[in-house]
Amino acid sequence: MLTKLNVINNEKVASTSGKLFQTHNPAHQSEVVASYPLSEPIDMLSAVDAAQTALPGWRATPIPARAAILRKAARLLVERVNPVSEHFTREEGKTLPEARMETLRAAEILEYFSGQGRYPIGEMYPAETPKNQLYSLREPVGIVGLITPWNFPIAIPTWKLAPALLYGNAVILKPASAAPGPACDLVECLLDAGLPAGVVNLVMGSGSSLGNVLLTDERINAVSFTGSEEVGTRLRTDNAGKKKLQMELGGKNPLVILADANLEKAVNAVIFGAFWSAGEKCTATSRLIVEKPVLEQVLEMLVKKIKELKVGDGLIDGIQICPLINRQAVNTVADICRAGETAGAELLVGGNILSEGEYADGCYFAPSLYHLPKPEGPLWTEELFGPVCAVVSADSPEQALALANDTRFGLVASVYTQSLPSAQEFIQGFHTGIVQINRATTGADVHVPFGGIKQSGSGGREQGLAAREFYTNLKTVYLEW
């Protein structure tokens, strides 16, 4: 079993209390993967002290020099991809190829932002008065708190850390307790790449006790949070506009299949979007809306493909669908399925916890498909974060669009059609931050804005140039001489 520590001021430290918590392999619950410090607010305060001391030096470091550290960290992460992704799979459950791909993705994000280190950080304007140079520039926000979820345990910490560091902020990272290992590995790469002491501090432990320090300590200027709707909504209310706050929350993402679609491609996209990574993606396809003339055919194709999916331990070659993060998650998914059935959902395949034989020690739920006679009930409204997809039929493209938008979430939506005018109607009509045409709802390029509207997100987009908005403050300068 590995023991990983907090990083405060570039030193690896235990929690002040000495208390620990452990992570368990989702494929074999009896296997303890690693132990981590169960930190308390006093540890978080030490991290804030370290960040405060480090901030002036890091702010004064030229951006290309900051970028060079990110570039070196990217190289180190690529060199370490095998041990990092193996630990990742043991702890988070995702299949090894998925964990590998995410780790290499994280390296690409570091590279992308290191490239941004030579881009303009301001704009020159024509001045209304003579001898006046009028320009804008971007400055660091200051100390930034980052709170991340377990389902992309290396990509999401990197989305936040890379722009935060490039633009000169000092950072405190609080990764999710269910899978903090990949974030530890990422921070290790940054330290080995030469990051000065105190610029990134890593504190592990319970979100409810540590998150409060990040939200209330006046020295922290901004908090970026990715996680559940429930926690995010609470943080937004508690913050009451006091700090700069970025929220990336859940989704209930629709995929629409119109009658003219290439059904084979559409069905494959549903399989990939709804079931891979056990549906534990904020962008997962959890609602499928099918035009009536092709409904029967789509359901038949889906059921056949779902039955062929290989569910199991993500370390085994050829496994497609991994276990869920823990037993609690499995029980939550089962509860929502039972409530959905009570509300009238018709089970087409799956619907049950897998607990026999090779699954006995793991956290498995069968890939599941439900047909809903009406667009209502928890399978239509709630984010399950499991391998479950609910299907409704639509009488027309207009009705399909209305059904797609019938949710409090607004992260991503997809439509399959061979008609460009129809695609354009959906591009304009979807109420989401991201639209996919003839593509799965999941997947995101590293250099473009990512995020949602409505309950799915607020406070500015992540990734790409859009990330700059959150991690900098804009200053306008009138320079008369």
CA–CA separation, 371 and 291 (whole Å): 13
Distance CA 345, CA 373 (A): 7
Residue 232 Cβ, how far from ligand NAP at the closest point, in Å? 7
Shortest Cβ distance from residue 254 to ligand NAP (Å)? 15
Least Å from the CB of residue 237 to ligand NAP:
11
Annotated catalytic residue, options 102, 111, 188, 248? 248
- The amino acid sitting at 455 is Q
**Of 117 and 410, which CB lies nearer to ligand NAP in the complex structure?**
410
- In the complex, the smallest distance separating the C-beta of residue 19 from ligand NAP, rounded to whole angstroms, is 14
Q: Which is nearer to ligand NAP, 146 or 302 (CB)?
A: 146
Which residue's Cβ lies closest to ligand NAP?
Answer: 211
Rounded Cα gap, residues 26 and 90, in angstroms: 7
Nearer to ligand NAP, 426 or 450 (CB): 450
Nearer to ligand NAP, 216 or 418 (CB): 216
Check if 337 is active-site: no
Question: Where would I find the H helices in 261-415?
Answer: 263-275, 292-308, 327-342, 378-381, 397-404
The pair of three-digit structure tokens given for residue 384, joined into one six-digit string: 């399950």
Is the distance from CB of 154 to CB of 103 less than 8 angstroms? yes
Provide the minimum distance between the beta carbon of 385 and ligand NAP in the complex, in angstroms, as a whole number. 6
Question: How far is residue 433 from each of residues 52, 248, 249, 448, measured CA to CA in Å?
Answer: 35, 11, 12, 12
The C-alpha atoms of residue 187 and residue 432 are separated, in whole angstroms, by: 33
Radius of gyration for the alpha carbons in the chain, expressed in angstroms and rounded: 23
Query: Which residue, 155 or 290, is less far from ligand NAP as judged by CB?
Result: 155
Catalytic residue among 40, 98, 280, 282: 282
Task: Considering the complex, state which of residue 39 and residue 422 has its C-beta at the smaller distance from ligand NAP.
Answer: 39
* Catalytic residue list contains 282: yes
23 and 33 Cβ atoms separated by less than 8 Å: yes
For the bound state, the minimum distance from the C-beta of residue 179 to ligand NAP, rounded and expressed in Å, comes to 9
Q: Which residues bind ligand NAP (CB under 6 A)?
A: 147-152, 156, 174-178, 206-208, 211, 226-229, 231, 234-235, 248-251, 282, 383, 385, 411, 452, 456-457
Kindly list the strands in the beta sheet with 285-291, ordered across the sheet, starting from the edge strand earlier in the chain.
346-349, 368-371, 388-394, 285-291, 253-257, 412-416, 434-437
Start-to-end Cα distance in the chain? 65
> What positions carry a catalytic annotation?
248, 282
